[in-house]
Structure 1
Amino acid sequence: MTTTLTRPDHPAARSALASRRFWFGADAVVTGTNGLVYLAAAGALVDLLGGDAGTWRAVGAFLLVYAAGVALYARSPRSARAGWAIVVANTLWVVASLDVAVTGALDLDPVGRGWVVAQAVVVASFVLLQARVLRARLQA
């Protein structure tokens, strides 16, 4: 039995780490950008997408905190468990977003519901890519 692939200096391990940093880092950037926009432009978002300015601000604040945690994970050699926790949280976000879009829970306009579905698709893409990177890490 060989353990060369589990060494952190092995090319496959370095590649897995680079992929992990990229996809979790991209998630942090996109999430943080959304959070900033939701906070800074809550009033304009109400006009454009519907809903309530307070809700947009609360979601924006949450997204900024979440983005900071994802960025921290992306830049540090933390365990795969933390990565899987992010994947699960992102999956829950996708399910909750689709629920909001279908039920109209936040009183969004049709354009707002479309926006929620579009961002759910982006987050679902991160879920798939992040899970793939974490599985590759287990095999490296």
Structure 2
Amino acid sequence: MMSSQNAGTVPAAGATRSDSLLRFALSADVVLTGANGIGYLVLATVLDSFLGVRLSVQYPVGVFLTGYALWVLVVSRQQNISRGSVAVIITLNVAWAVASIATVAVDALSATGIGNGWIVFQGLVVAAMGALQYVGLRRM
């Protein structure tokens, strides 16, 4: 029986790994989001004309995504993953996916066709990560 102290966490590595899918999904989030964030920071001047997204948008987004990826890394490396933290990660991923589609729908960034395609693709990938994380969370 689970005590109230660890009711909101995943069993440690020595126990049966019911959290392996969740850990995989969180790790994928770290890699993809971190690469995206660093890409926005390092390649901003190239992406500016290619995607049509201004530097004043790319730099803050790059900083946010890099920081978010570092936080997800911390959550994913905990011996006992917090269900509450994962719920926040899933919620943020869903919000990002919806915001991506809405951004293109209202042409908020005046991006190029390739830029709009990238924003939609990115939103779909983030939605898929959130869905995979949700399934992983349910399996715990």
User: What TM-score does the superposition give when structure 2 sets the normalisation length?
Assistant: 0.87
- After superposition, where does 1:65-104 map in structure 2 within 5 Å? 65-76=67-78, 77-104=80-107
Counterpart in 1 of 2:124? 121
Match of 2:37 among 29, 35, 47: 35
User: What amino acid does structure 1 have at the position aligned with 2:35?
Assistant: T
CA contact (8 A) 1:28 1:67 kept: yes
After superposition, the Cα gap between the structure-2 partners of 1:52 and 1:131, relative to the gap in structure 1 and judged at 3 Å, is same
After superposition, the Cα gap between the structure-2 partners of 1:7 and 1:114, relative to the gap in structure 1 and judged at 3 Å, is closer
C-alpha distance in 2 between matches for 1:83 and 1:27:
12
C-alpha distance in 1 between matches for 2:47 and 2:54:
9
In structure 2, the gaps of 5 or more residues are 3-9
Give the percent of matched residue pairs that are identical in Structure 1 and Structure 2: 34
CA contact (8 A) 1:42 1:54 kept: no
User: As a proportion of its length, which structure holds more helix?
Assistant: 1
The secondary structure found in structure 1 opposite 2:134 is helix
Counterpart in 2 of 1:112? 115
CA contact (8 A) 2:52 2:111 kept: yes
User: What TM-score does the superposition give when structure 1 sets the normalisation length?
Assistant: 0.87
In structure 1, the gaps of 5 or more residues are none
C-alpha distance in 2 between matches for 1:54 and 1:48:
15
C-alpha distance in 2 between matches for 1:135 and 1:96:
25
Q: Over the residues paired in the alignment, what is the CA RMSD in angstroms?
A: 1.6
| Residues 55-96 of structure 1: per-residue CA shift (max 9 Å, x gap) | 111100000000011111111123211101100000000010
Count of residue pairs the alignment pairs up: 131
Deviation at 1:53, TM superposition (A): 1.1
Higher relative contact order (CA 8 A, sep 6+): 2
Counterpart in 1 of 2:46? 44
- After superposition, where does 1:11-26 map in structure 2 within 5 Å? 11=16, 14=17, 16-26=18-28
